Amino acid sequence: MASSSGLQSRALLLFSAFVTVAAWQSEVGRMVFYPFTILATYAHEMGHGTVALILGGSFDSLEMFPDGSGLARWHGDVGRVGKALVALGGLVGPSILGAIVLMASRRRSRARWILDLLSVSMLASVLLVVRTGFGVLFVLGMAAALFWLARVGGGRLGPFTSQFVGVQLCMSVFRDLNYMFSPGGVVDGVQQRSDSSAIADALVFPYWFWGGVAALFAFLAAIVGVFVALRRGPVGGEADDRGRATRHAKT
């Protein structure tokens, strides 16, 4: 019985990944998955800010807009390599976070605290860095939804939610491919240079080279996260019983 449940969970995880990628290829699908598009933007901008903090810089603000674009403002003397790493942090941030969520929540006992941790982290970011009305409303709403699901989602709903969020973040790399290989994009209606171009400006080689590096890294993170989740049996399987701005532009 547990084996059958594990197989069903694996199939559901793979199906959700496939549906996510397919949905982002159509206008209707993008509308249906709009909340997760904004969630990926949030993770993207938090990736920039988190790397800036790790390198000794300051994360000043995070701005999010209804068109799915965003802006992370930071400052600090981190050097040319540091600037490139901050830009890269946004490109690979969603996939890394998604992989961590998938691996950490593969057991039922962990799913609730994963959702709680995400909720608390999102609330803290609203208090500290989120600075647009749209961003505040979205992040608070998402934090409340995850917290509520952690409370009422005993059994399979909570574990499925954490796995589903992880899949959405991992699969966002497919939505961002055009941006990764673009010299620029639109942030709240204003044309800006892309993160790949920011890396090229700080280092060597053209923007498309760094877009390829970022895409490969993001793919690997997503594959590792999904592989571990499938191997250990997600949601109900046997294992469950134990002064600068970096941008996420809409292209």
pLDDT digits (tens, 9 = 90+) for 112-131: 889 999 999 999 999 999 99
Reading the block at residue 131, the tokens are 């600075």
What mean pLDDT value characterizes the chain? 85
| Mean pLDDT of the 241-247 span | 51
Pairwise CA distance, residues 187 & 65, whole Å: 8
φ/ψ bin of 72: left (φ > 0), alpha (ψ from -120 to 50), beta (otherwise): beta
- What b/e string do you get for 180-198 counting C-beta neighbours within 10 Å, with b at 16 or more? bbbebbbbbeeebbbbbbb
With CA atoms as reference, report the closest residue to 62 among 251, 249, 247, 250: 247
Amino acid identity, residue 199?
A: I
pLDDT at 246 over 70: no
Q: Which residues contact residue 133 at a Cβ distance below 8 angstroms, ignoring those fewer than 6 apart?
A: none
Q: Which one-letter DSSP state was computed for residue 57?
A: -
Q: Tell the residue number behind the tokens 């593969």, with chain if given.
A: 106
pLDDT at 235 over 60: no
pLDDT at 136 over 90: yes
Q: Which residue has the higher pLDDT, 161 or 3?
A: 161
pLDDT digits (tens, 9 = 90+) for 168-184: 898 888 877 888 999 98
pLDDT digits (tens, 9 = 90+) for 61-115: 999 999 989 999 999 999 999 999 999 999 999 999 999 998 887 777 788 889 9
